[in-house]
């Protein structure tokens, strides 16, 4: 198996789109060699713990309402092309995602990491749920067959907080500046939401190389 490390944030629309495009390639190549691991990268590491109103966040980030609208036009277009439903009007708050990254980490221990990432994207972009709310995160854990009560207790503690922060900082120190960022076999960096056909070519090339080595 070949390691595919994905640096991502559950509130990043390009990460949502990038995952959808990769998923299509994986479905088209069911014998792909990838072992996928998700890694934390916070778009807003200085976000208040309880998040902030989405409109205020977007206008501050993009210099007003018009700037926010312009910034999100390509997101809407590409999301639709990827077959994704994003209800931007339903998103009322931009959360701090530190706890969401803790959930992804714990899900990984149980072999449910990709399920957690998928559910978090859907919860935030499609269902309008506040994934900064520990109660929402515990509920999401239950929805992917994790122990919701245990996750609630972990979220109420400081468990793995320092680890997630350190992994985020390490990613930045190693040059990750934006997400999604994909790292293949700890050697090849593929930035951005790449198209499905590129991933199919990558899978085909890696498979051919592995076959040649046997």
First to last CA, the chain: 13
Residue 208 exposed, middle or buried by CB count within 10 Å (0-12, 13-18, 19+): exposed
Using one digit for the tens of pLDDT, what is the confidence trace for 35-66?
999 999 999 999 999 999 999 998 898 998 88
Selection from 90, 86, 84, 79 nearest residue 54 by Cα:
90
C-alpha to C-alpha distance for 179 and 182, rounded to whole angstroms: 9
pLDDT tier at 19 (50, 70, 90 boundaries)? very high
163-174 pLDDT tens trace: 999 999 999 999
- The residue segments making up the domain with residue 44 are 2-213
Domain count, the chain: 1
- CA distances to 20, 31, 101, 121, 179 from 26, rounded to whole Å, are 10, 8, 24, 18, 20
CATH of residue 114's domain is 3.40.30.10
pLDDT tens digits, residue range 115-164?
999 999 999 999 999 999 999 999 999 999 999 999 999 999 999 999 99
**Chain centroid, CA 21 distance in Å:** 13
């Amino acid at each position: 198996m070949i390691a595919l490390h994905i640096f991502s944030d559950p509130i990043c629309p390009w990460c949502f789109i990038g995952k959808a495009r990769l998923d299509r390639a994986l479905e088209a190549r069911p014998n792909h060699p990838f072992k996928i691991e998700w890694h934390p990268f916070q778009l807003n590491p200085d976000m208040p713990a309880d998040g902030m109103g989405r409109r205020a966040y977007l206008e501050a980030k993009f210099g007003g309402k018009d700037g926010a609208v312009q910034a999100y036009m390509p997101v809407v277009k590409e999301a639709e092309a990827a077959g994704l439903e994003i209800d931007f009007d339903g998103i009322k708050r931009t959360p701090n995602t530190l706890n969401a990254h803790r959930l992804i980490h714990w899900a990984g221990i149980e072999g449910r990491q990709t399920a957690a990432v998928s559910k978090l994207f859907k919860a935030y972009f499609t269902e309008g749920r506040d994934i900064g709310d520990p109660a929402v995160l515990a509920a999401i854990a239950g929805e992917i067959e994790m122990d919701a009560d245990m996750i609630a207790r972990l979220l109420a503690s400081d468990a793995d907080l320092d680890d997630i922060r350190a992994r985020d900082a390490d990613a930045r120190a190693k040059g990750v500046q934006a997400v999604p960022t994909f790292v293949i076999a700890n050697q090849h960096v593929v930035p951005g939401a790449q198209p499905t056909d590129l991933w199919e070519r990558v899978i085909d090339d890696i498979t051919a190389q592995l076959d040649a080595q046997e």
